[in-house]
Each structure stands twice: as C-alpha cells, then as structure tokens.
Amino acid sequence: MEEVDAWMRSPEPREDIPTKLYMLAAIGCAALNHAGRVPDEVAERISVPYHDIICRCLDTTELESVEILLLLALYSVYDPNGMSPWVLTGILGRQAIALGLNRRCRSGSGSTLLETERRYRLFWSSFEVDRVIASVYGLPVAINDENINLPLPGVTLEEYADTEQDYYTQILQKSRSIVAFRELEGRVLQKIHLCNTSAVANLSHRDRRAIVEDFRSQIDDWYAQGCLLSRSENKNIPPHNTIPWLNVHYYHILMLLCSPSQFNSCLSNPQLLDLRRSIRQYVNCSTVQLR
C-alpha cells in the first residue's frame, strides 16, 4: 500500500511498478470510483495497456501470468472502454489450462503444500470468473467441467494453526459453495441455452419438464446448504457469506432455468408464472443487497 501511495502521489509517470501491483491498484481505484469514493481525475490517471499485458502474460509459463490475467479480466468489468471481459476470460481460461492448473499436482513434483494450494485456488478463482462472465453474456465457457481434475480449495497448515482458524474455515466452506453454484450454473447454461438444436428436438415436453425439475431440485439443495453457511447481518463479514447475496444468486439461476430458449420453446402458463415470480424476487433481492 505504501508503494501504491507513493506511485499515485508521484508528479511524474513511473514505469517501474510491477504489473500485478499496478492491476491491484487499478481494480481498487476503479471500484472506489464506481462507488463515488474516488474522484474521476484520480481514476483517470490509471491507464491499463491491455494488449501489452496480454502479450507479456502469454509469453511466459510463470504462475503469475495467470494471476495477472485474472486481475485484468476483473478490471475489465469496471472499464466500459476496455477489452471485452468475455474475450479476456477466454484467454485466462485457456492459459490456465495450458499451464496445467486444471490438473492435480503429481506427488514428487517438488511443490510445497502451500504452493500446491495456491495453484488450486488460482484455478478455482479463474473458473468462477469464467462462469460469471459466460452467464452474463449468455455465451459458452472457456473451462469445461470435463477438463478439471483437482480438489476444491482447502485450508492450509498455516491457516489451520492461525488464531483466526474459524474465519478461514468459514471462507473455505463458502468458497466451496460458490464453486458448486458456478458448476450448477454452467450446466444450466449449457443444457438450457446453448444446447444442440437437433438434440432438443428429440425431447418430448415431459422429458424437458423432467430435466427442469431435476435442475430445480439441485438448485433448492444448493440454496438450503447455503443458508446453513450464511448470516442475515452484513457487517464485518464477507458479502458472499450473507443471506442477501444467497437470495440474489438463487433467483438469478431460477431465471436462467426458466427463461425462454430453444429448450424452453413451449413454456406453459405455470412456467411463465414461475419466470415472472423469479424475476420479481430477483429485482427485490438485488435492491436489498444494493442497499
């Protein structure tokens, strides 16, 4: 933070700022500017060279290249004049797979437990961003489920021995819940909205309804599990651990499940009522979370 502060106060542009630090500062500044807590003239001092950063990251096999691409994709969400977040998450996902982050580390690879866990967490973070952007754009994901062969995030020995062990455990449980949600969201997106036209044509109305009901059951199970991990208050706890966050994402995926598509081409009146109800609840819950 001291390095960022000195850089921001410098009257002359500096070119010795590490790329990862620069991106962290850019994301923080953009988020605070978006919330009205940083003036526009300060935010305008940050200019992210997308193409230069991408070229440097693709030219190396270092783990940090994926970290930087992940930060670049996150920043693009705040930057309406920058590169498309969907394009960036595509590059991010493919670079992560190219470096083998989607595969379990082999025993005897020479990596410490901490380094291994860092790789796993970096992959699952990239996975989540990929699913979020694909859902927003309604386009295919870059990382497919069948390409993944590694465990979910875990608690490190350092975190387990820390005095704030309970905090790390809660974050771990919620992180796993988020990964489960993104996996489920990806399957709904693929089956309902990106499905093969000929395959859908061979399904009867009853078959389609059964698939929707099965997804609905999985969604309800995820929500019930999430309620056990979440809290109603939103002070001094991560946003993902709150009931408002859980409600918004629950009704979001219900909207995704019920929205008209090739799969849902013959929605019945009860299905349309479910869609209308989900939209209304999503708007209400989003308003609560925003407040």
Radius of gyration of the chain (CA): 21
How many Cβ atoms sit within 10 Å of the Cβ of residue 143?
Answer: 25
103's tokens = 């595969």
Q: How many residues are there in the chain?
A: 291
67's tokens = 């970290």
pLDDT in tens, 60-78: 989 999 999 999 999 999 9
7's tokens = 């850089």
How many Cβ atoms sit within 10 Å of the Cβ of residue 84?
Answer: 12
Three-state secondary structure string covering 173-223: HHHHHHHHHHHHHHHHHHHHHCCCHHHHHCCCHHHHHHHHHHHHHHHHHHH
pLDDT in tens, 108-147: 677 888 899 999 999 999 999 999 999 888 888 999 888 8
CA separation for the pair 117, 111 (Å, rounded): 10
> Do 258 and 221 touch, CB atoms closer than 8 A?
no
Q: What is the pLDDT of residue 139?
A: 87
CA distances from 188 to 40, 85, 106, 205, 217 (A): 39, 21, 32, 17, 12
> Do 50 and 58 touch, CB atoms closer than 8 A?
no
Q: What is the pLDDT of residue 265?
A: 86
pLDDT in tens, 153-205: 988 888 888 898 888 888 888 899 999 999 999 999 999 998 888 888 889 98
DSSP string covering 122-163: HHHHHHHHHHHHHHHHT---SS-GGG-BSPPP---HHHHHST
CA separation for the pair 89, 127 (Å, rounded): 9
pLDDT in tens, 243-256: 899 999 999 999 99
Q: Is 103 helix (H, G, I), strand (E, B) or coil?
A: strand
- Among 85-94, 98-107, 256-265, the range with the most confident prediction by mean pLDDT is 85-94
Q: What is the mean pLDDT of residues 101-108?
A: 85
76's tokens = 């693009």
Q: What is the pLDDT of residue 237?
A: 67
User: 222: which strand partners?
Assistant: none
Report helix angle 269-290 to 243-258, nearest 10: 150
